């Protein structure tokens, strides 16, 4: 209310830059900006963020397939199964129980932890990188 609609376009420009630079999607910028700065209800911001995320991640997936980028399909299958279960449980059981202020705080804390972890991990120059997921590493995922 009272916020020009074009502000979201500017927000999503920065969201798409973050999405392109990390494994986070544009919703990682959209949700906190919409809730903390623009005062939009968390449930509306969440649904908008899911929509933006689905469009961006689908485009990224198609680009990865089209360009022939190496994909670890075993890891992708494991995280997809976990993600489907997690999103259903989160939307049906957890989200309705959270007050709007708590959902904002949880998102910002998780987002900050991801940013700190990504920064720390990228500072390690000679870390061991696995191109293929071996059976002993399945439980880690």
- The tokens for 61 are 């997936």
Instruction: Write down the pLDDT at residue 92.
Output: 92
Nearest 10 degrees: Cα torsion 10, 13, 18, 24: 90
Please write the tens of the pLDDT for every residue from 53-82. 888 788 888 998 999 988 888 888 888 999
52's CB contacts (< 8 A; 6+ apart) are 12, 15, 25, 26, 27, 30
Instruction: Write down the pLDDT at residue 135.
Output: 76
Please write the tens of the pLDDT for every residue from 4-42. 878 888 888 887 787 777 767 777 778 888 888 888 888
From start to end of 46-123, where are the E strands?
Answer: none
């Amino acid at each position: 209310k009272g916020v020009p609609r074009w502000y979201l376009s500017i927000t999503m420009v920065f969201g798409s830059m973050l999405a392109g630079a990390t494994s986070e999607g544009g919703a990682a910028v959209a949700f906190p900006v919409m809730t903390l700065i623009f005062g939009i209800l968390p449930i509306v911001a969440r649904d908008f963020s899911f929509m933006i995320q689905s469009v961006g991640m689908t485009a990224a997936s198609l680009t990865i397939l089209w360009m022939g980028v190496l994909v670890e399909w075993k890891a992708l299958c494991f995280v997809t199964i976990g993600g489907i279960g997690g999103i259903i449980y989160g939307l049906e059981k957890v989200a309705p129980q959270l007050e709007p202020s708590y959902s904002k705080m949880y998102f910002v804390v998780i987002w900050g932890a991801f940013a700190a972890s990504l920064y720390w991990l990228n500072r390690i120059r000679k870390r061991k990188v696995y191109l293929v997921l071996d059976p002993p590493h399945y439980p880690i995922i």
